[in-house]
Amino acid sequence: MRTIRPLKIRSDKLRFFLKWSTYVLIAAVLYVFITTSAKTPIKPLLLIPFAVCVSMNESEFASSMWGLFCGFLLDSACGKVFGYNAFVIMVLCMFSSLLFLYLIRRNFFGFFIISAAAIFLHAVLDYFFYYAIWGYENVGLLFWRTYIPQMLWTLACGALLYFVGKYVSIKFGTQIKILVEEKNDGSSEE
């Protein structure tokens, strides 16, 4: 299996800039993808798993800000009140970042679980605030016909984003510095 090696960039600022630029670029591509006219009735909301994916490798503050950004994009894509998705995804990203920091291992399984939870919570809140509380006739149909396929579709397609996020995170990540302590007898110890 091929190992991903970090790019040899000395400047931390440049590395930071390149990493976040790449994240923004990917988010922009996903935004265009979900808003482009297509015959498919349901599209995966790929920005949610991608936001979770980034928060997996970032601090809680950076994750929250990233969630805010992805949420604003999602607000624009879904025609929701500007800031609604931003707030929801910001909170989801903050919690997922903390969970990855303290409780859950940073691997594909962990990502899949947290991603599924985030997608489910987002869909339930969206359904509740935008349809259920307004009392439209046969509103439950909407959950089965729109939200369930949307969740499944997002989860299935979003799983691939784990690899994209991991690749970017490692490529532009900080290189691990191994401290080598010289022993008095000449041999070295990590």
Binding residues (CB under 8 A) for another protein: these are 34-39, 42-43, 45, 74, 77-79, 131, 136-139, 141-142, 145-146, 150
d(CA 28, CA 58): 19
Instruction: Give how far Cα 59 sits from Cα of 55, 66, 147, 158, Å.
Output: 7, 10, 30, 21
For another protein, give the closer residue by CB, 133 or 141: 141
Which residue, 3 or 37, has its beta carbon nearer to another protein?
37
Q: How far is the CB of 100 from another protein (least distance, A)?
A: 27
Q: How far is the CB of 164 from another protein (least distance, A)?
A: 20
* Cα separations in angstroms, 80 against 87, 126, 127, 129, 161: 12, 9, 12, 11, 24
CB of 137 to another protein, least distance (A): 6
C-alpha 91/C-alpha 89 separation (Å) is: 5
Q: How far is the CB of 161 from another protein (least distance, A)?
A: 17
Q: How far is the CB of 125 from another protein (least distance, A)?
A: 14
Q: Give the alpha-carbon dihedral of 18, 21, 27, 29, to 10 degrees.
A: -90
| Residue 61 or 136 having the CB closest to another protein | 136
Nearer to another protein, 11 or 37 (CB): 37
Nearer residue to another protein within complex by CB, 121 or 139? 139
Instruction: Pick the closest to residue 53 from 158, 172, 133 (CA basis).
Output: 158
